[in-house]
């Protein structure tokens, strides 16, 4: 008689069995929670190592398709990896150079517009309802300068902290690029090495899971690129419609900033509004602010959750909660990496569910109407791998 079909003759026995079952599962869940907590502490301690590895994997998802094509043409793995990495850096450097040159060429016009905007501001505050004279306006400016001088110490400390953060980010980026080179060069060797290390049975399951995780990471990067392009196009069209200078470099900056959650979009939008203010006046800046806020709200609350939920097979609510949890735990990096990490966990959970269903299916097919006896799963069936893993 199986546990699911057991009939109790005493009410106390039935209640005791239920309490025992609940205690067993509570203990297991508690152990899993403790393990997850310890894993989180370990990741936090090793974050300086974990972060470059994760970034390197995401970069590899972009570099691998062209590298695979070059390898199919007969190029050695090291040469193919070097070519795609240098080309990627060249494209990124070209975009940065385009943005920098456009800003430099339009700096004089923006400076003239800023001077004119300052004069308009002085004229506006001198009229109703403020009615501030030139002396009062200059006094306000002088007071602001004094306040800035009094805060110079804290500002210097903040700048030093920022420089340290930027330096750490540069080092992390360089390490991630080097790791991406090795991943592209030697990535195909990893699965055979892993299968030889852990054995054919476990290696087959790991190969399937890792292949699915790799596809998930690629979907994440493609989705993020679509979302960033959406922001860049709409904000760029708003800049062109308002006649704001530097529309193209600001749109390119918006596209690049889209890959940095929260801060990237905020900085790109703030720069667009600032340029609109100093070049086209207060009204254009307000309109540009409305456009930026509307685009970012649609992107963050509608487009990104829907696209990522479809490509990564996650519910939109799960995506929003993942970004919130990641940003609260690990800041900007956590917000960026939260979605692929949760998607990876979902891939593993789905595969485990498939394995469980595959093990239960033979027993259900052999005795679909068994009630009073238990049909055991044979060892051969229990350890059998899916066909795709062979």
Q: What is the mean pLDDT of residues 10-30?
A: 86
CA 48 to each of CA 36, 43, 171, 232: distance values in angstroms, whole numbers, following the listed order: 19, 9, 10, 31
Among residues 71, 61, 73, the alpha carbon closest in space to that of 183 is found at: 61
Q: What's the rounded Cα separation, in Å, for the pair 5 and 136?
A: 88
Q: What angle do CA 329, 335, 338 make, to 5 degrees?
A: 85
- pLDDT 10s digits, 270-326: 888 888 877 777 788 888 889 888 888 887 777 777 776 676 777 767 777 887 787
Look at residue 379 in the predicted model and tell me its pLDDT.
Answer: 41
Confidence of residue 159 (pLDDT cuts 50, 70, 90): very low
Look at residue 327 in the predicted model and tell me its pLDDT.
Answer: 76
User: Is the model's pLDDT at 85 over the cut of 80?
Assistant: yes
Look at residue 52 in the predicted model and tell me its pLDDT.
Answer: 87
Q: What is the mean pLDDT of residues 246-256?
A: 80
- pLDDT 10s digits, 327-358: 777 777 777 778 788 888 888 888 888 888 88
Q: What's the rounded Cα separation, in Å, for the pair 106 and 278?
A: 12
DSSP string, 133-144: -HHHHHHHHHHH
- pLDDT 10s digits, 359-375: 886 655 555 444 444 43
User: Is the model's pLDDT at 30 over the cut of 90?
Assistant: yes
- pLDDT 10s digits, 99-143: 677 666 666 666 666 666 666 666 665 666 555 555 555 666 666
Q: What is the mean pLDDT of residues 139-149?
A: 61
The residues spanned by each domain of the chain are 46-141+171-185, 198-390
User: Is the model's pLDDT at 155 over the cut of 60?
Assistant: no
Look at residue 26 in the predicted model and tell me its pLDDT.
Answer: 93
Q: What's the rounded Cα separation, in Å, for the pair 165 and 154?
A: 16
- pLDDT above 90: percentage of residues in the chain: 5
CB 231 within 8 A of CB 296: yes
Look at residue 377 in the predicted model and tell me its pLDDT.
Answer: 40
User: Is the model's pLDDT at 49 over the cut of 50?
Assistant: yes
CA 68 to each of CA 18, 81, 114, 359, 366: distance values in angstroms, whole numbers, following the listed order: 55, 9, 50, 36, 46
- In the block, tokens 């602001």 appear at 144
Q: What's the rounded Cα separation, in Å, for the pair 92 and 374?
A: 63
Q: What angle do CA 207, 212, 215 make, to 5 degrees?
A: 130
- pTM beyond cutoff 0.75: no
**Helical (H) or strand (E) element with 185:** helix 152-186
């Amino acid at each position: 008689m199986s546990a699911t079909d057991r009939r109790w003759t005493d009410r106390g026995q039935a209640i005791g069995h239920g309490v025992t079952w609940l205690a067993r599962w509570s203990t297991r869940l508690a152990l899993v929670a403790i393990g997850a907590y310890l894993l989180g502490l370990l990741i936090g301690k090793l974050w300086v190592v974990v972060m470059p590895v994760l970034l390197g994997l995401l970069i590899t998802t972009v570099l691998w398709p062209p590298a695979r094509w070059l390898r199919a043409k007969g190029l050695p793995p090291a040469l193919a990896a070097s070519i795609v990495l240098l080309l990627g850096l060249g494209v990124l450097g070209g975009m940065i150079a385009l943005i920098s040159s456009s800003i430099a060429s339009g700096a004089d016009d923006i400076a003239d517009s800023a001077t004119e905007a300052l004069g308009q501001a002085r004229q506006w505050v001198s009229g109703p309802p403020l009615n501030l004279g030139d002396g009062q306006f200059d006094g306000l400016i002088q007071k602001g300068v004094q306040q800035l001088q009094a805060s110079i110490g804290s500002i210097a400390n903040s700048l030093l902290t920022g420089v340290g953060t930027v330096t750490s980010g540069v080092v992390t980026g360089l390490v991630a690029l080097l790791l991406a080179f090795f991943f592209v060069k030697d990535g195909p060797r990893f699965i055979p090495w892993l299968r030889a290390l852990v054995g054919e049975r476990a290696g087959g399951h790991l190969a399937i899971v890792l292949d699915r995780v790799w596809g998930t990471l690629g979907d994440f990067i493609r989705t993020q690129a679509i979302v960033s392009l959406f922001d860049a196009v709409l904000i760029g069209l708003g800049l062109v419609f308002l006649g704001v200078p530097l529309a193209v470099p600001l749109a390119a900056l918006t596209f690049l900033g889209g890959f940095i959650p929260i801060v990237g979009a905020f900085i790109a939008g703030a720069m667009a509004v600032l340029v609109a203010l100093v070049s086209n006046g207060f009204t254009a800046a307000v309109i540009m602010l409305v456009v930026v806020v509307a685009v970012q709200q649609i992107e963050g609350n509608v487009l990104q959750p829907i696209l990522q939920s479809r490509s990564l097979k996650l519910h939109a609510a799960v995506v929003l909660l993942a970004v919130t949890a990641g940003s609260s735990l690990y800041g900007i990096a956590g917000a960026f990496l939260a979605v692929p990490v949760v998607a990876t966990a979902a891939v593993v959970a789905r595969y485990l569910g498939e394995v469980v269903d595959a093990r239960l299916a033979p027993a259900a097919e052999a005795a679909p109407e068994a009630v009073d006896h238990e049909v055991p799963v044979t060892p051969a069936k229990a350890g059998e791998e899916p066909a795709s893993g062979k």
